[in-house]
């Protein structure tokens, strides 16, 4: 890796690991300072949200995890770490793939998606994991996988209608994963430094949201499913706000931990059940 970014305490590159989130968790548990970074060319046991697997062939995606010690963030604001990772990666991806600024959107809570002629497609997913939040020594691991130089002909058949890659949405342009990583870290650093000063880019986070104004399908743990119109996101709690005539004010909050999945339409992602 060529990047030298002052805010990183440790950065390592691996050809193949089970999961970069586990590498970083082990570092944090052993006392490594924030912000530490593990990058892998391939994961043999990559994890997605809600217990799903995360699939990407070697070299097709940028797969990385960051380790934080967020003692400077209130317990109910730790979600901002995952959000700023998504925002920094969206900025970097647009830059490296030559996309118009704002082309990539966030699907709550933290997926990066693109509107294509065939509908909404998932480009990246984020897995945030925490331990000890509210204690004197909280840790947070934020992993992100973004589909980079991955031609559609190599998409897994069962995911081909729900996923995309930067090379696909940029018309076949080759995507330099090193450049993407460098750009990501360049965009990430000021966002992390700002968070240490209690600042989070709420306006930028709002602006990227794709669900606002659209009907979402909310899947609850245990199988409950409901549909509601999303009206926005809450910059204080990180919640998705949806219309709810029964609630005071006509809307209610949905927190990421309360749901299995939010979909805008019939979608699937590069995860396996
Ligand atoms: C999701 O959308 O379900 C989250 C996917 C997160 C995938 C990344 S790839 C790097 C890091 N290591 C993992 O095992 N998962 C995350």
Q: Give, as one character, the DSSP assignment of residue 87.
A: H
Taking the CA of residue 48 as reference, the ligand 1 atom at the shortest distance is 3
Any idea what DSSP says for residue 209?
Answer: B
| Rg of the chain, C-alpha, whole Å | 18
pLDDT (0 to 100) of residue 261: 77
Interval between CA 125 and ligand 1 midpoint (Å) = 6
Report how far residue 84's alpha carbon sits from residue 192's, in angstroms, rounded to the nearest whole number: 8
Instruction: Please tell me the predicted confidence (pLDDT) of residue 264.
Output: 78
The CA 174 to ligand 1 mean position distance, Å, reads 23
- List 163's β-bridge partners, or say none: 122
Distance from residue 26's CA to the centre of ligand 1 (Å): 16
Mean pLDDT of 223-244: 93
What distance in Å separates the CA atoms of residue 270 and residue 52, rounded to the nearest whole number? Answer: 10
H/E element holding 266?
none
Please count the other Cβ atoms lying within 10 Å of the Cβ belonging to residue 261.
Answer: 17
Question: Which residue, 19, 23, 22, is CA-closest to 11?
Answer: 23
- Give the model confidence (pLDDT) of 89-108 as tens digits: 999 999 999 999 999 999 99
Residue of 19, 42, 47, 89 best suited for mutating to test ligand 1, as the one with most atoms within 8 Å of CB: 47
- Reported confidence tier of residue 258, pLDDT bands at 50, 70, 90: confident
pTM of the model: 0.94
CA of 21 to the centre of ligand 1 (A): 8
Percent pLDDT > 70 in the chain is: 95
CB of 61 shorter than 6 A to ligand 1 = no
pLDDT (0 to 100) of residue 4: 55
End-to-end Cα, the chain, rounded Å: 33
Residue 273 above 50 pLDDT?
no
Question: At 91, is the secondary structure helix, strand, or coil?
Answer: helix
Does residue 164 have a pLDDT over 60?
Answer: yes
**CA–CA separation, 21 vs 28, rounded Å?**
11
């Amino acid at each position: 890796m060529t990047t030298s970014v002052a805010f990183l305490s440790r950065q390592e590159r691996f050809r193949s690991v089970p999961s970069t989130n586990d590498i970083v968790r082990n570092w944090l548990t052993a006392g490594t300072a924030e912000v530490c970074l593990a990058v892998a060319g391939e994961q043999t046991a990559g994890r997605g949200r809600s217990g799903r697997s995360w699939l990407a062939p070697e070299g097709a995606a940028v797969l990385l995890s960051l380790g934080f010690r967020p003692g400077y963030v209130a317990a109910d604001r730790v979600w901002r770490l995952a959000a700023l990772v998504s925002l920094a990666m969206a900025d970097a991806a647009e830059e490296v793939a030559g996309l118009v600024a704002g082309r990539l959107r966030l699907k709550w809570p933290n997926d990066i998606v693109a509107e294509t002629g065939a509908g909404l497609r998932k480009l990246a997913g984020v897995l945030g994991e925490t331990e000890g939040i509210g204690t004197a020594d909280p840790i947070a691991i934020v992993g992100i996988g973004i589909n980079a130089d991955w031609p559609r002909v190599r998409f897994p058949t069962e995911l081909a209608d729900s996923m995309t890659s930067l090379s696909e949405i940029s018309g076949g342009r080759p995507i330099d994963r090193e450049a993407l990583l460098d750009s990501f870290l360049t965009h990430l650093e000021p966002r992390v430094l700002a968070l240490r000063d209690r600042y989070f880019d709420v306006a930028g986070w709002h602006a990227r949201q794709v669900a606002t104004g659209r009907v979402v399908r909310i899947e609850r743990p245990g199988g409950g499913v409901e549909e509601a119109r999303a009206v926005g996101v809450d910059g204080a709690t990180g919640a998705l706000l949806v219309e709810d005539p029964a609630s005071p004010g006509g809307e209610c909050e949905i927190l990421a931990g309360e749901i299995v999945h939010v979909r805008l339409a019939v979608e699937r992602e590069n995860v396996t059940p």
